[in-house]
Structure formats: structure tokens, C-alpha cells
Amino acid sequence: MTDGAPVLPSAELRADFRLAAPYVGGAIVDVAETAPVTNPATGEEIGRVALASADIADQAVAAAAAAFPAWRDLPTAERHALVAAALDAAEQQADDIARTIALEVGKVLHEANGDIRGALAMTRGMLQLVADLEAEEDRSGHPGTGAAPLVRLRHVPVGPVAVIGPWNTPVFLTFNGIAPALAAGATLVVKPAVEAPLGLTATLRMIAEQLPPGVVNVVPGRGSVVGQRLAEHPDVRALSFTGGTETGRRIAAVAAANVKKVALELGGNDPAIVLGSAEITDALITELIAGSYAMTGQICFNVKRIYVHRDRYEEFVERFSRAAARIVVGDPLDPTAHIGPLTTRDGYENALRLLDAARADGAEVRELGTRADSADWERGLYVAPTVVLGLPADHELVLEEQFAPIIPIIPFDTDEEAVNEANRTEYGLASSVWSHDLAHAEAVARRIEAGNTFLNAHRLGASVPLVPFGGVKQSGLGRTHLKYSLEHVTDEHAIIGFTDPAAQLPGIARWQDVAAG
Ligand code: NAD
């Protein structure tokens, strides 16, 4: 919004997009406290977010619990028709939602479009999958089910599901939790991140308005208040969380007290290993540049450190640096910009601190990139695409997640050494191995501790819906995408029956006299 133009065409819609308010049981709830939502490219306030109380979170859970039985019991086709119409309603506003996301996150419009449109497409895919899986599994007469003539396995929705989302890809990643719940027949309470709540809250409001009251509830607010309450609430049966590892640990501890199902998508420190058998081609550099710097380095599975075989190191560093120098940094609405600013002031200050620490430790810090005219470097949270060379292998910038466009490049001599360094972290989200010898790449990939290891790729497109996505070690618990995320929001319900209660189950002989006596 650098030109002062309104975010949206109509005043009515603008009001919706500019205040992320709680929506509970089919109605907006007034709150006493709000906080500003700012455009990180300019520092301007673009909207406000409600800071709801724990009481409002309780009301939302109560609304979701009340709506659950009727929603669950609707025939699937009927329920899905309602959801599909709700998705269509949101799709009609997708351009405005994308623009809002671009402004609140600071990500370029192309990526903001993927955020909203990807979320809606994913939900449609989930409806299809649930319809396909609907048939109950009849195991009657199957060897291993014993003497029972009737054995039926059903997947039933767990009940109210809470979803706590992050600010970096606020709609798509939160929909990773929302889509399976909606499709499976669960009801929802969603807590958007306070830093970027506007696009997600508007989307969910449009969807909620098309569904029975209480099926979708939204409660914006602080993590320590609303998020915490949802984690500890005994009527929330499953919780999906996407965010930082520290917060994930806290949520898991709280949720354990009431035996809630918890899915955690947490931080990552993805290594990319360029093997000695790789040729340093334009395609390799392009893909690694995109994997490292897309979304200003704020994707959970961006490349966060690059290990290059010493035989290729010099050539790689020169070509990678040259390409990084051509990345255009600008306002998120500027069509020429590859990347925008960082989203949060904390993240910005942390990035500057890491650069100072690297310099103090004797590293070579190459601040690259090209500033677009639209980038207001004085007011925006801009950090140039940066390459850092000569860091010790155990430096904070190597072992911790930086969440900024600052990439350390480190040489190695043997595959063994590369694998050890890649695994020398508590994170294990994604990773990649690069070589023109696919067998060599796969052999190394098999030794990496991660949820996903990509070969000659490292970006969003590599994480396709048909394969499970998630982390090992401190990067998460559970998997998202299609059937993997359905497991989190459904329970197995087994119905096992005997025609004659005196059926021949082992051990019954000992009790036979009881009824007769
Ligand atoms: P964050 O942990 O600060 O916040 C995430 C959400 O949790 C927000 O909605 C926040 O309000 C809420 N929250 C904070 N404290 C809480 C508490 N005590 N109880 C309940 N909820 C609480 O994370 P962030 O800064 O928004 O996101 C960045 C981090 O998320 C990075 O580490 C990134 O790697 C990770 N991430 C992971 C994935 C993945 O798929 N694995 C995807 C995106 C982001």
C-alpha cells in the first residue's frame, strides 16, 4: 500500500479485511483489546487484530462442540456440497485476499496468490479423498478377526479440532490443519498468528458464513492466551500446530495433560549437499537460489545451509554469489521484485545480530541483491540476500534456524563428513542432495535424518500432496498431506458383532455356570 490506495475495492469488504475479529458460533464477537497489523515494507498500519480473551476461546470451543454432532451426522455428500460452495465464495475474493496477505506478510504477490489459492485447492482435494475413502471397511469373515461374523472399521471425526497457524504462510499452512478436519466432518476453532491474521480471518469468515453456525470458529489473539487455552481445553480433541520448535514443545506438554492428539509442524534448518559428482549448471544454481531465498528465507523448508564438495566449492560460490546479486528486493506489490522484506521486527533484528556475529567471528559476509526503486530501505524490514563464507561448522548461523535470506556455504571433503554435518542439528524437516549421478545422490539421501530429502530440488513444488510432509527430531510430530493428515482428525472406530452372545470366544467356559445358576 505504498501509494495510499485502498487495499480493497468496497468499503464493506475493506472493513472485513482490516479487522481480524473473532467469529464464534456464526457471529462476530466484540473484543476490548486490539493490536496493529503493519506492512513490513513500510511500517504503515494496514489493519488491526483482536486480542481475544481465554473466555472467547472457551466460547468458541463450546460452539464447535455444540455444532459437532449434527455436522458429523450429515451425509458426506451433503456436508461436502456445503464446503465446496463455501470454498467457491472464498475463491471469488482470492485476489483481494492475496493482496492482503502480501501486505501483512511482506511476501510478493505471486507467493501470496499461492498461499490462498493453494489452500482452497488443497481443501477441494481433501473432499475428494474423503469421499473416496468413505466406504467403511468390512472385515467380517477375514482371517484374524476371530469368530465374529461382523467386523466393521470406520474412520470417525474426532470432534472439535483446534488449529494454530504461523505468520509466514498464514493461509496455506493453517489450511494444512483445517482442510482435513472440514472434509472429515470435524468442527474447528482456528487461531491465526497475530502478525499476519487479516487474510486468514477474512477467508475463514467467508467460509464460516456458508456453513452451519459453530462449524468454523476463528479466535485471533496472543499465543500465550488463546493458543494456550486451546491446547489445554479438554473438549478440543485434536490440535494442529505450525510454528516454532520452542512453542511446539510447550503446546505438546500442555496437551499431554488431557490426552489430546497433537500434530506439530515445527522449525527446520535444512541442509543442501552439493556432491563432488554434481555439475554446477545454471539450472542447479537457479533451483538452489530459489530454494534458499524464496519468501525472503522465511519458509520452514528453505535451504538454510549449503555444503559443497571442495572440488566444486570455488566455482559454486562464485556462480551462486553472482546469481544472488541479481535477486531484486522490493515492495511486495512490485511485480519486478523476487523477494520483499522480512515480516517481523524481531526476525529483522535477529538477522542483523547474526550478521554482526558472523563478521565478529571472522566470516566473509557478502551482502548481495539489487534494490528495486520500490524498496523503502529506511522504513521497511529489508535484509539483502546474503552469502556467508568461512564460518566454523558449529557457528549459530549454521546450526540454528536463521529464518532470513542469509546463507552459509561450507566446503566438505568426503560424503561421510557432509552427512555428519547435515545431521548435526536437532532439526530434521527437509533436506536436499545435488548431483548429476542420481544413484550417488540417493545413496547419500538415505543417510540423512529428515522427513523429506529432495534430489536436485528444494522448494515448495518438491513437497507434493501425494507424499507425506513433516519433520523428525525437533522438527515435528505427525505428517501433513492427504491421507496422512486425515489420520490426525479421525479415530478408528471398530464395530465387532456376534449373532449369538454365547459365541465361542476363548475363556467363556470358565463363566458358563454364572448365568445358569
Ligand atoms: P511461533 O511458534 O512464534 O507462533 C506460531 C503460532 O503459535 C502463532 O499463532 C502464535 O500466536 C502461537 N503461539 C505462541 N505461543 C503459544 C503458546 N504458548 N501456546 C499456543 N500457541 C502459541 O512461530 P512463528 O514465528 O509464527 O513461525 C515461524 C516458525 O515456524 C519457524 O521456526 C518455522 O520454521 C516454523 N514453521 C514450520 C512449518 C512446518 O511446516 N514445519 C511451517 C511454517 C513455519
Task: Going residue by residue through the chain, which has 517 residues, state the pLDDT in tens, using 9 for 90 and above.
Answer: 334 443 433 445 455 689 999 999 999 999 999 999 999 999 999 999 999 999 999 999 999 999 999 999 999 999 999 999 999 999 999 999 999 999 999 999 999 999 999 999 999 999 999 988 876 677 777 766 666 778 888 889 999 999 999 999 999 999 999 999 999 999 999 999 999 999 999 999 999 999 999 999 999 999 999 999 999 999 999 999 999 999 999 999 999 999 999 999 999 999 999 999 999 999 999 999 999 999 999 999 999 999 999 999 999 999 999 999 999 999 999 999 999 999 999 999 999 999 999 999 999 999 999 999 999 999 999 999 999 999 999 999 999 999 999 999 999 999 999 999 999 999 999 999 999 999 999 999 999 999 999 999 998 777 788 889 999 999 999 999 888 999 999 999 999 888 777 666 778 778 878 877 6
Residue with cell 566449492: 313
Distance (Å) from CA 470 to ligand 1 centroid = 14
User: Residue 446 region, left (φ>0) first, then alpha (ψ -120 to 50), else beta?
Assistant: alpha
Atom 11 of ligand 1, residue of closest alpha carbon: 223
Distance (Å) from CA 436 to ligand 1 centroid = 36
- From CA 321, how far away is CA 3, in angstroms rounded? 33
Radius of gyration from C-alpha coordinates of the chain: 25
pLDDT at 517: 64
Ligand 1 site-directed mutation target among 247, 254, 403, 477, most atoms within 8 Å of CB = 247
Q: Is 255 exposed, middle or buried (0-12, 13-18, 19+ CB in 10 A)?
A: buried
The pTM assigned to this predicted structure is 0.94
pLDDT at 141: 74
Q: Which residues form the pocket of ligand 1, taking CB atoms under 6 Å from any ligand atom?
A: 164-168, 173, 191, 193-194, 223-224, 227-228, 231, 242-244, 247, 250-251, 265-268, 300, 401, 403, 429, 471, 476
Length of the chain: 517
pLDDT at 4: 41
Give the side-chain half-sphere CA count within 13 A for 401. 24
Strand partners, 137: 153
Q: What atom of ligand 1 comes closest to residue 245's alpha carbon?
A: 32
Ligand 1 site-directed mutation target among 236, 242, 345, most atoms within 8 Å of CB = 242
Distance (Å) from CA 5 to ligand 1 centroid = 31
- From CA 324, how far away is CA 406, in angstroms rounded? 11
Distance (Å) from CA 402 to ligand 1 centroid = 14
- By annotation, the residues acting in catalysis are 265, 300
Strands (E) located in 332-425:
364-367, 370-371, 386-389, 406-412
Distance (Å) from CA 447 to ligand 1 centroid = 28
Q: Tell me the three cell numbers of residue 339.
A: 523477494
| CA-wise closest residue to 260 among 15, 400, 61 | 61
Q: What pLDDT, in 10s, does the model give residues 187-213?
A: 999 999 999 999 999 999 999 999 999
pLDDT at 514: 85
Q: Is 420 helix (H, G, I), strand (E, B) or coil?
A: helix
